[in-house]
A and B are shown apart, each in its own frame.
Chain A
Amino acid sequence: MKCSKCGGLAVINMRQHRLRLCAEHFLEWFVNMTERTIQKYEMFTSDDRVLVAVSGGKDSLVLWDVLLQLGYQAEGMYIGLGIDEGIGYSDKSLEMCRRFVTHHHPSAELHTVDVQGEFGQSIPMLARTSQRGRGKPCAVCGLVKRHIMNRVALQGAAGRAGDSGFAAIATGHNLDDEVAVLMQNTLHWQTGYLARQAPVLEERDGLARKVKPFVRLYERETAAYALIRGIDYIYDECPFAKGSTTNFYKELLNQLELNSPGAKQQFYLEFLSARNAERVVFAEVERAELHPCMRCGQPTTAGDLCAFCRLWE
């Protein structure tokens, strides 16, 4: 199998693009595709500081690598969740982030927040003790991560005098992540979620801007990039995510992709295009009014305290 560009030995066949590339041309294509996506959706510019949410997984570390290669002011943000489950999951994840900095970008800045260190309880502890988390660590985890990430994006990293925050939070969500969510929301006709699913979520009322520069790249491609670039990442999924619905949908969609190359890409990109051209229209969902939480100041639709602060009650 030959590279479509140079005729050398191809390492990957991307059937949805009818493109086979060698390692060198794949890396070049991947970086260019990310840059085109950033520009197409006007995610940020080289003047902006961007906070990359890193987990030690491949997508977030690859995103950080690509943004730094492209010359963006990208700083990493790792949240220590305190998940051990007999395999030291969180410790390993942090180690992957630190190793990435040491081996690939020694001058890159990695900010860390340890949930138990700052708030007194880890995610598994919180899941056991809080009403919201009872039997659902993922619900608690998502809430805590969104809260901390939003705080750091808007207020800057702790202990840095004069840090005025970041223009956007960048996450490593790839096309497979997005299309799995799209499929779930379509099967359940969650029109409110369908109306909001987008590569960019604009800043509003105390919520930081969020961007997803990998929305046009398959998960297979982010994994291939990590392997070729020699980026070590945490291969095991979170012990609490085993058997998750999202992974089930990803497998289903890959079955579809096997028989119909490009099906995932077409489903997602045509959805965005149809919605933008108003070929599909969702009834206007009235957005609940946001006001600052009395304790932490972050936006909430609830009474006095936001959902995050209520966790610790």
Chain B
Amino acid sequence: MTPLLEARGVTKIFGGGLFERASVLALENFSLPIEAERPLITAVVGESGSGKTTLARLLLGLTAPTGGHVLYQGRDLRSMSRADWRAFRRDVQVIFQDPYEVYNPFYRVDHVLTTPVAKFHLAPSRAGERALIEDVLRAVGLRPEETLGRFPHQLSGGQRQRVMVARALLLKPRLILADEPVSMVDASLRATILGSLRSINAERGISIVYITHDLATAYQISDRIIVLYRGAVAEAGDVELVVKQPRHPYTQLLLSSIPRASAERTWLTDRIGASAGRPDGESAGCRFAARCPSAMSRCREVRPPLFQTDRHRVVACYLHADAPAQPIEAP
């Protein structure tokens, strides 16, 4: 089957023009198929500068790749017709980080819900519109009578973000891309929003790409996970494997850096082998080599390919070079 949306060998380089100081490799040779037949929650995890926001923009067609292709139902986003784009904008919905900035403060929250209904002719009548809106609000755990008719400032950040999830659902999308949807929401409300993403996936069969810096929430809601480091995949695969038995030194560093909310105290006493210093500039080798406690000479010379260490996991690290390497897509 043709994937609903696919990144195939995508590279994005910023700058490097005649008057630019230096070019920045934001994402390198990234591939990810999202199949609508098997709706999964895919987490993309990375720190600042990992390329995760660039990836979101590429998948939405907001920026064009420097190399490789982003394909919607097999068609390159760069050469799609208006009709294809119209279908794309129904099938692929997005939820952004900031639930405060997406609202016009002068309109009631109803406005963000009625606009897509009108634009995409989703309901034949006023009553139909109301029923549709109430259905999606309930799907995200909001009571329509307590939500509709209010102004954005009368709702909490968590409620506003759930209205955005409801808005995404209106169009019956096949994929929702959520870029840090809970990073500005209080801890006690995060679980509720993430729980509604889970149930949307399970009950409505919608694929979700969850982009975050937070490995703990990624573990909680996703089926598979991609760990990005400075524009390249460090490790990817089944979330249980990656989180419980991380193989890449960077994944191991990330997991051991997270302070755990438990009575066991080892965080400040544990020494981490990897250094947290500023990484070097561009190099031909592994991008993590400068900080890696196990770096070997070839790590600094040639980029490691993705080695398939388990049936459901790949690791970009020469420590696992005995596993078969995944073929690299021709650029």
Chains A and B belong together in one complex: no
Residues of A within 8 A of B (CB): none
Residues of B within 8 A of A (CB): none
